[in-house]
Amino acid sequence: MRKAVLRTVMGEHLAVLRRREAELERILAGDSRLFAGGAGPGRFREDLDAVRLVIRGFDELLPSAWHLEPGAAPRREVNRVTEAKALVRARATAAVIAMTLQQPDREHRDDDADRLRVATALFRYLRDQLDAIADSGSEVDEDRRAAIYKIAAIAGTPGFSGGGVGF
C-alpha cells in the first residue's frame, strides 16, 4: 500500500480524534454547548484519556512501525475499501506491537507498559472503526457484507488479520 494512502487515512482519523479531544476538553472545562446528559465528569475524563492514547498511537506507533513521516496528509478522498485496507493494516500493526511488548524473552524498556496501553487503545479503536465500516448502510446484503469482511481480513499483513486477538 502506498505511503500517501496510509498518510491520508491516518490524517483523516487524527483530525476526527483531535476534534473529539477538543470537545471533551470543552465539556470538562464547562465550556461546551453540549449537555452532559447525566454523565459525570469521570466518564468524560475516561473518554478523553482513551482518545489521547489513540492519538498517540497514530502519532507515535504507526509512523515508527511504517517508516512514515507524520505530517499533512495529501488532500484527496480515499474510498471505503481502501480505508478499510489501511485500517486493517494499522490494526494488525497495533496487535503485533502489543504482542511483542508482552514477550517474556525480550529486553524490556521502562516505557513498555505505556506503549502497551497505547497499542491496545489503538487496536480497540481500529477494531471499532472496522466494525462501523462493515456495518455502515444496513441495506448492504449479507453476500456483500461477507465480501467486505473478507477484504478486511486479507488486506493487512499477509497471513494475519488481527481477528480473534482480544485485548
pLDDT in tens, 72-90: 656 677 888 888 999 999 9
State the Cα–Cα distance between residues 116 and 26, nearest whole angstrom.
28
Q: Which residue has the higher pLDDT, 137 or 111?
A: 111
Rounded to an integer, the average pLDDT of 39-64 is 89
CA neighbor of 62 nearest in space, from 93, 99, 29, 102? 93
Q: Would you kindly state where each structural domain of the chain is located, as residue ranges?
A: 3-66, 80-154
Q: Which residue has the higher pLDDT, 8 or 31?
A: 8
Cell of 96: 503485533
Rounded to an integer, the average pLDDT of 131-140 is 71
Residues 6+ apart with CB under 8 A from 72: 11
pLDDT of residue 142: 64
pLDDT of residue 89: 94
pLDDT for residue 58 is more than 50: yes
pLDDT for residue 148 is more than 70: no
pLDDT for residue 157 is more than 60: no
State the Cα–Cα distance between residues 158 and 143, nearest whole angstrom.
23
Q: What are phi and psi of 60, to 5 degrees?
A: -110, -55
Rounded to an integer, the average pLDDT of 20-31 is 86
State the Cα–Cα distance between residues 75 and 77, nearest whole angstrom.
7
SS3 state of residue 21 = helix
- Confidence band of 2 (pLDDT split at 50, 70, 90): confident
pLDDT of residue 74: 60
CB 94 within 8 A of CB 122: yes
pLDDT of residue 50: 95
